[in-house]
Amino acid sequence: MKKKILITGGAGYIGSSVSNLLIDKGLNVTIIDNLVTGNKKFIPKKAHFEKCDIDNEKEISRILTEKTYDLVIHFAGLIRVDESVKKPDKYFFYNYTKAKKFFDICLKFGLNNIILSSTASVYEDKKKNPMSEKDKTNPKNPYAKSKLKIEKYLVKKSKNTKINYTILRYFNVAGTEAKMRSGLASKFSTHLIKVACEVATKKRNMLIINGNNYNTHDGTTIRDYIHISDLTEIHLLSLRDLLRNKKSNIYNCGYGKGYSVRDVIDCLNSIIKKKIPVKIGKRRLKDSEYLVANTKKFYDYFKWKPKFNNLRTIIESSLKWEKKLNK
């Protein structure tokens, strides 16, 4: 019998990409999304779609009454660091308060296998040392603080309630899967590779580098970029393991290699064989200097090897997607 999976935020970039893979693998997928930031055209045709807010108790209760789900994957939420600094209350409301209410409704109906999408930004800055899951958390911005708060809620709740959770801390996700069914489409994206590809395809006039005076090899911030196709596979493996072993865990999702803003720009320039226009701007408020994953825990446990861990591959994939959006 097909496993039934409930996905919040399934009209977004990562949510829709994971939904596509799960359906490809024969799972039964229901998507909940209010379409405030998600895009309906990215929802897989074979998914059942419910348009509603995750804290709408009446509607969520109806959905959970009509079908018994084996597991829920929670993607819904707000993700812009710059906006969170200006509107912290909004981020805590969407990423913590609404999510907490949703989980409480799920638990009331016995849906207690939970995968939570989180962020590497929950870690304390370590300056050039990859972050492991055991490292101290000390988020710098309201977005990351709101994600850590909902993480802690699940962990604490599991001590006296029957909950099996997997928390996945994403590093920087980019690219599109081979069939190019979904990808980053927000007009207000702050993702470096997305923005750089928009400049390369003439959608933006210039790329602003947010500071060039960090303590790194070229003065720009360093990030660990992971291809969306590898990230979706991480979700599939985590889902199967959680359903089989019912054991809670936290995993980093990255490759363990960092690239600076300049590294990304240079790689893109070599692909398009010309230089994109660049301007040095101010540092972003509460931005981390260095975010790179220690991936040993996930890789060792699942005996997993990524298939797309190459910066050029990631950027080429992102560029193809950007050109597709132009059509």
Which residue matches tokens 């959970």? 64
Given a cut of 80, whether residue 303 has pLDDT beyond it is yes
Instruction: Decide if pLDDT at 112 tops 80.
Output: yes
What is the C-alpha to C-alpha distance for residues 269 and 273, in angstroms, rounded to an integer? Answer: 6
> For the residues 263-279, what does the mean pLDDT come to?
97
Predicted local confidence at residue 284, as pLDDT:
85
pTM of the model: 0.96
User: Quick one: pLDDT at residue 80?
Assistant: 87
- Burial class of residue 327 in the structure, from the number of CB atoms within 10 Å of its CB (0-12 exposed, 13-18 middle, 19+ buried): exposed
Please indicate whether residue 259 is annotated as part of the active site. Answer: no
Residue 185: predicted pLDDT: 87
The residues, any chain, with a CB within 8 Å of residue 188's CB and separated by 6 or more, are 80
Q: In the predicted model, what is the mean pLDDT of residues 26-50? A: 96
* Marked catalytic residue, from 143, 214, 255, 259: 143
**148-180: pLDDT as tens digits:** 999 999 999 999 999 999 999 999 999 999 999
Domains, the chain, in order of start with CATH, read 4-174+225-253 (3.40.50.720), 192-223+256-322 (3.90.25.10)
Measured in degrees and rounded to the nearest 5, phi and psi for residue 105 equal -65, -45
Is the pLDDT assigned to residue 327 strictly greater than 80?
A: no
pLDDT exceeds cutoff 80 at 126: no
